[in-house]
Amino acid sequence: MNKFITLNNGIKMPTLGLGVWQIKQSETARVVSWALESGYCHIDTARIYGNEKGVGEAVKSSDIPREQIFITTKLWVTDFFNAELAYRKSLDRLGLGYADLYLIHWPFPFWKHAWKTLEKLYQQGRIKAIGVSNFGIRQLEVLSKFSAITPAVNQIEFSPFYYRKELLEYCKEKGIALEAYSPLTRAKKFNHPVIKELAQKYAKTAAQIMIHWSLQHGLIVIPKSQNPNRIVENSEVFDFTIDDGDMARLDSLNENFRTGFW
């Protein structure tokens, strides 16, 4: 199982990261520091999360060189007409000179205007890669008709219980890396009989089975946790392979189960 993926612009991105959605600003630096000390080198934040500052503090206090840590942040929908300023403010909060990946957070009205600004920032070398989040095939098709740059990443909700096979296949065909948030269904499906059975079979936890399923499908995965033990547990997913029959069983669990309200 590969720990890195090469994006369509040649940039290498870790396939496992820590998501920091809903982690309080006051706790973020501590949580991210735990993750970095545990071997993580990919942190996913956003302006709307309100914790970019804590992410930056942890990165700067770490012994790991900045160029070895992959930082994603996102453009919020109210900033679509001020995307360049919003990016600059995100960097100020992070206290970092650049973001590795900058995403349009949602395909709300006027996202096309924002994408042109992201393209400009990328072409100026101010961002390593640009992408989108929560885009379906329809929005990606629209984007392909006017954009100069194919998004490097599309970050979406994805789990065995929300298996978006058609979108996965589309993104693979177009060279867009798919990234899974909420890959653990916020633990709401840990007690499903198939998950429990496979966890026992592979001597892994329910979380590890669900994370590995996404990784084995070729996704980047960003589970969120504030618990040091679970942060470590979620990273111990590269030492086994789920066989084809069990992957098919996990695929069949899809029930379009979303953890968000969108």
Give the H/E segment covering residue 221. Answer: strand 220-221
**Given the DSSP bridges, would you call strands 12-14 and 42-44 parallel, antiparallel or unpaired?**
unpaired
Residue 49 a catalytic site member: yes
Catalytic choice (40, 49, 163, 181) = 49
CA distances from 42 to 13, 38, 95, 101, 140 (A): 8, 12, 16, 11, 25
For residue 67 the two structure tokens come to: 């160029």
Rounded to whole angstroms, the Cα distance separating 217 from 200 reads: 21
Rounded to whole angstroms, the Cα distance separating 188 from 203 reads: 20
Closest CA to 177 of 148, 156, 207: 156
Classify each residue of 210-219 as buried b or exposed e, where b means 16 or more C-beta atoms within 10 Å of its C-beta: bbbbbbbbeb
Instruction: Determine how many CB atoms are found less than 10 A away from the CB of residue 63.
Output: 6
Give the H/E segment covering residue 11. Answer: none
Q: What are phi and psi of 216, to 5 degrees?
A: -70, -20
Question: Locate tokens 């996102």: which residue?
Answer: 74
Q: Which amino acids are annotated catalytic?
A: 49
